[in-house]
Structure 1
């Protein structure tokens, strides 16, 4: 057991909700109290997050969802929109680009979140469109208190908004001022947009299902789609290249895509079956890390020991290298997942783990599969110059040179939610994209478009090379675990490439060391940036290991002696986990205390 937790693990029997913002959690719990199920509550929570965490997600973003009905199979809802039909490799090369910009309109893909939420509401929910959207509309119209990170983000892009993205300034710089942390903030344009969707849907149909289907069509072909296209066809937007570009998105892209169901990818580990998305997300790296780690006796270790941190970190390096070499949209790329998760393959990969740290990026070999791994060493490569030499140790500098914010380089993040209702239905979802700092606000809608195309490579030998209609290999990765074949736990976190590190550490601490949900979340966190980043400018930092300062001094010193390039982060700075579980009639939930935003609720 951990010696310290920041708050109690929530325990109840009626229902539990946990998310990355207390107002979103309150919305989900409110739906449960009104008789809704976990799916109704998840939709309300997800739309609330779009309003109260606009620097982390928005209506123009995306969301993968994993659902575990009380009766029925676990399913993945794919809410990741694809690249536009005009988004060819040649189109970017004609603009003299070797990397997709991290902001602006060239990195926009089809926004997928709205349709994914609607699909789940249609097939699994019970409540009306008006009911589940009421909380988000209320927060947008009547206002909410801005958390410090929103104010900080707006401040970083203030000049960009004033000089270039003026439609964003109209929302986020009222009277030319950055809103103060704690101030009441409103987004009436977003509230009006959702109100209009509801009104048009109710006018078109007098039943719940018809209204939801109408709303989906409004989004993809109606006034929302028209406003998106009017902006995409006319706006030339400053991005991280230092130049202005138009979007490649077309009305046919919006009208031609809809969210869909998939079977989860699974892996059995110590009595648990972990469910993740397919290789269009990074979720399988969680499973491959388990496949590597099952060859070690973690039960014999301490969760703060240098051996635990070392083994987990070195396993992550191997699994993430395989992500870079093999992962891509399975509709375009033959990803050898059966091999990558096999005992034979990981038995060989495990032999690469020694007592000292590796500075190599070492993808495995599967005959006839995979492609080039692009390596851009942090602080040592010029923008646009790819270092493709892999396998040799390279020491990278630690200098941090953030992209200038006057070109739209402020990075975004993600949200997460987990919900279980009294009937045992379970949802895990990781909404993201459409950050307020990602591209300009679309006039009349109050939101901006996703930049998920920055996760494509402009390298035809990479399995994640951009192509029309192809899904970007997203970092978004909700998790759901069965215990002895029964749905047991929903969990996940924001954090880009760290998602399948932080969530893995949480899972291992719960499974091997007996920490409850809150203890496992509160435990000192660590991460590595050893492998290529999924985000612009796509750099890696070989040998890096960042740890919260709460680790024992002996652990830190031992990790340094093993060669890790240790960076000590502030004590409560890494990880934003949320989790909920169900066992023996009890529902439990916990949330991340870091940054004082995440909360769990239940009764």
Structure 2
């Protein structure tokens, strides 16, 4: 008998959508029902996520996307991660008396890449027009969406900041000057008007679909949206997490010069299954590095049991080594030489594997030396224990409420798969831009201002983000699309989820396994070993956090091996969703934690 699950294992042959919010999932399914493909559905759902989860993503944010195109018979990465302003260096922040990019405010803004990525993917691999995919989001913004508990908690944490400093945000998110109640209606008419104007300009270019999409991107990056973003950054200084007021450094030329990119994914194979991730401008390769280390370790031949601390210890230790390499070597490969081929090589994995002690936990951050290079880690900064009134970035704002990210996955009946992780532009990240109805993102906080690091701030470079969608192939065919919110923890949770599936199947595409929902429901764990990618960059070497559904004997054995084990509520770690093509069926599953994720399909 399969293990019990919190909700049904969905299976069908028409289409599947899973995401972090039920309205986005249902929007995507509605697109599939009306003849759209997985790309059309993902874009419509992605725009809806900006309205229903404004504390987790927004139009001013970013999105990396992995997709399998059945027409092309290959996978692609669409990079919706905007770069830093082209004229900005660490010296510019030093001139302001800063040794770190603030976690909030316009000083931390990068080019907002989400709109460009969604519309480029729609143009190249979708079938619908821009109006078709934007209308659901515009309708929700005009008519209102339920204020979910996470939105209410986030607004409660920044209410004083909004009313005292960020007046444009107060006007947008505190209707009538009051904190909205849970399940009341949140309306965003200014955002709706922005998207309606983009549509009007796009359709004024004529009936050609491609021309409309290109004109829409022109409106965003070279037209009225760019003009208002530039004016916002130039004309007003806003309080940020440095405790001071700063103007933004982003200007119209930064937006005009940028375009979303398409590139090939990087990959690694584990037990005959090929896993695909973005390049090292995201943290995705850490999952691949961990898999390559684990490939030569003994996790057992059968399914991974929750009462067996052996595999959990090995996963933690392998992940720590991968994250150490992230800190030393990952950055924008267009601006820094990242030795990725070596980091993912068999020889390098074997050398790293020898550092894994199967009886003792490691307590130091130990990057490797690919190609004989000497690793260089960021110098620790003294964390400011008294966060100021403007708060911090993902995943914590001033009040202790959690900000985060979204995720969505789509499979259609034609063989296409999409995995996307939109984030940034959170309502708590920066003041709302007047006339646009949304805030800018704060992804520049992920740069270091220390010179000479792989992730040092460089003019026009992409920050090394935590956003990390995933695809997996069996026998060269699309099998699985998956991902999760969670900042630095995304590739830890995704690794555990994938391992549970991989150890329940072989690499043969004709062997089905119906455990997608069970793998998401299963108890989760994570380490806090590497420095956070977000202000104030905290690290807790040796710390392991586990849901309390793991047996006490497991936690005790991990502690005996030297892990600093802490337990949390049994349904609080991991927010995965996934879709699959498995055993002749399309399948989908979503996270039950937080009672918000939703999978739908037939």
Q: Given the two structures, how large is their TM-score scaled by the length of structure 2?
A: 0.95
State whether structure 2 residue 291 is matched by structure 1 residue 287.
no
Q: How does 1:523-538 map to 2 (within 5 A)?
A: 523-538=522-537
Q: Tell me which residue corresponds to 1:386.
A: none
**Aligned CA distance change for structure 1 residues 382 and 519 (closer, same or farther; 3 Å):** closer
Contact kept in structure 1, 2:131 and 2:199, CA below 8 Å: yes
CA deviations over 1:5-60 (Å, ceiling 9, x no partner): 10011111000000000000011001111110001001001000000000000000
**In structure 2, distance between residues paired with 1:332 and 1:311:** 34
Q: Tell me which residue corresponds to 2:508.
A: none
SS at match of 1:299: coil
**In structure 2, distance between residues paired with 1:556 and 1:183:** 41
CA deviations over 1:183-240 (Å, ceiling 9, x no partner): 1111111111111111121112212111111101000011111111111111201111
SS at match of 2:369: coil
Contact kept in structure 1, 2:243 and 2:389, CA below 8 Å: no
Structure 1 position 362, deviation (Å): 0.4
Q: Tell me which residue corresponds to 2:348.
A: 345
Q: Tell me which residue corresponds to 2:227.
A: 226
Q: Tell me which residue corresponds to 1:40.
A: 40
SS at match of 1:175: helix
Gaps of 5+ in 2: 506-513
Q: Tell me which residue corresponds to 1:395.
A: none
**In structure 2, distance between residues paired with 1:270 and 1:494:** 26
CA deviations over 1:555-593 (Å, ceiling 9, x no partner): 011111111111101110001101000134310000001
**Aligned CA distance change for structure 1 residues 135 and 483 (closer, same or farther; 3 Å):** same
Q: Tell me which residue corresponds to 2:435.
A: 444
**Aligned CA distance change for structure 1 residues 306 and 412 (closer, same or farther; 3 Å):** same
Q: How many residues align?
A: 583
SS at match of 1:101: coil
- The one of 356, 359, 364 equivalent to 1:360 is 364
Q: Tell me which residue corresponds to 1:541.
A: 540
SS at match of 2:588: strand
Q: Tell me which residue corresponds to 1:323.
A: 326
Instruction: Give the stretch that moved more between structures: 239-248 or 292-301.
Output: 292-301
Q: Given the two structures, how large is their TM-score scaled by the length of structure 1?
A: 0.95
**In structure 2, distance between residues paired with 1:40 and 1:513:** 32
Q: How does 1:192-211 map to 2 (within 5 A)?
A: 192-211=193-212
**In structure 2, distance between residues paired with 1:407 and 1:414:** 17
Contact kept in structure 2, 1:159 and 1:406, CA below 8 Å: no
**In structure 2, distance between residues paired with 1:102 and 1:217:** 29
Q: Tell me which residue corresponds to 1:597.
A: 596
Instruction: Give the stretch that moved more between structures: 342-351 or 13-22.
Output: 342-351
Structure 1 position 491, deviation (Å): 0.4
State whether structure 2 residue 288 is matched by structure 1 residue 297.
no
**In structure 2, distance between residues paired with 1:297 and 1:435:** 42
CA deviations over 1:396-440 (Å, ceiling 9, x no partner): xxxxx5734445661631100100111111111000000000000
Q: Tell me which residue corresponds to 1:150.
A: 151
Structure 1 position 126, deviation (Å): 0.7
SS at match of 2:78: strand
**In structure 2, distance between residues paired with 1:204 and 1:69:** 28
**In structure 2, distance between residues paired with 1:160 and 1:572:** 31
SS at match of 2:479: strand
Q: How does 1:160-179 map to 2 (within 5 A)?
A: 160-179=161-180
**Aligned CA distance change for structure 1 residues 325 and 57 (closer, same or farther; 3 Å):** same
Q: How does 1:269-284 map to 2 (within 5 A)?
A: 269-284=270-285
Structure 1 position 348, deviation (Å): 1.5
Contact kept in structure 2, 1:420 and 1:581, CA below 8 Å: yes
Structure 1 position 373, deviation (Å): 1.0
Structure 1 position 112, deviation (Å): 0.3
Structure 1 position 382, deviation (Å): 4.4
Gaps of 5+ in 1: 384-400
**Aligned CA distance change for structure 1 residues 382 and 132 (closer, same or farther; 3 Å):** closer
Q: Tell me which residue corresponds to 1:454.
A: 445
**Aligned CA distance change for structure 1 residues 465 and 213 (closer, same or farther; 3 Å):** same
Structure 1 position 372, deviation (Å): 2.2
Q: Tell me which residue corresponds to 1:13.
A: 13
Q: Tell me which residue corresponds to 1:159.
A: 160
Structure 1 position 303, deviation (Å): 3.0
SS at match of 2:269: strand
Contact kept in structure 1, 2:22 and 2:599, CA below 8 Å: yes
Q: How does 1:38-187 map to 2 (within 5 A)?
A: 38-72=38-72, 73-187=74-188
- The root-mean-square deviation of aligned C-alpha atoms, in Å, is 1.4
CA deviations over 1:453-500 (Å, ceiling 9, x no partner): 011001112110001111100110000000111111100001010010
**In structure 1, distance between residues paired with 2:347 and 2:255:** 43
